[in-house]
Amino acid sequence: MSFELENLAHEPRRSGQICDLVLRSDPGLLGHTIIRTYGAVVPGVQDYNIDGVGWGTGFAVSYGVARTVRLSLEVAYYRFQRGEWAGIPEEVTKANWNAVREVTMAVGLQSPTRSWLRPWIDAGFGVYEATETRDAITYYYPGEYHYRSVTSGTKLGMNWGVGVSARLDRRLAVDLGGRYHHSFGRAFLTNDQYMDGARLLTAQAGLSYVVR
């Protein structure tokens, strides 16, 4: 009887030791370098309408500083066409393309579960460069004049996103997510410091690979 009681008394301790071994054998993100590349669509932009859906692409390098925490450096490019807007009667806009370039540092959290499907959230801060290219025709006697105007500027900005990572094997995973981008303040490195900021929603899909 005493032998059985002694075994039962040690059972919780053994279970705790097993859990500790499992945690130590699965460091999660800690110490891992991960590269990620993705494509994106731009379904909406704040402040004005867009024609159709925009597109984009991006690349990120991450390093795990804890089991569930990673730091990332990310660059991205997005492009979309603004809807028609009313100008002076003698002027017709043929095309109005906007491009946004992003360079941000981000902090991300990923679920510590050992499942093949892992949710994540992250938030980033950095700079956003916006460029507006406008092709138009101006009608003045005795004819019409074609011209192109380009306005660009850089602002500070931030973004936050959520998504899931589906592991294909120990190193490769498919990432799906959505992200909202918001730049603010006056533009610098520009001739128009009051130009519109970058406030857009993106949906992303890509691949991530654990380098080591």
Q: Which pLDDT does position 144 carry in this prediction?
A: 73
Predicted TM-score (pTM) of this structure = 0.78
The total of structural domains in the chain comes to: 1
For residue 135, give every residue at least 6 positions away whose Cβ sits within 8 Å of its Cβ, in sequence order, or none: 93, 94, 95, 96, 146, 147, 148
Domain that holds residue 167: 28-210
In terms of phi and psi (left: phi > 0; alpha: psi -120 to 50; beta: otherwise), the region of 189 is left
CATH of the domain at 179: 2.40.160.20
Q: Quick check: is 160 in a domain?
A: yes
In terms of phi and psi (left: phi > 0; alpha: psi -120 to 50; beta: otherwise), the region of 28 is left
Nearest residue to 197 via CA among 90, 91, 48, 32: 48
Q: Is the pLDDT of residue 11 over 50?
A: no
Q: Quick check: is 21 in a domain?
A: no
Q: Quick check: is 22 in a domain?
A: no
Q: Which pLDDT does position 83 carry in this prediction?
A: 61
- 198 phi, psi to nearest 5 deg: -100, 110
Q: Which pLDDT does position 203 carry in this prediction?
A: 97
Q: Quick check: is 10 in a domain?
A: no
CA distance 186 to 175: 34
Q: Which pLDDT does position 95 carry in this prediction?
A: 62
Higher pLDDT, residue 56 or 132: 56
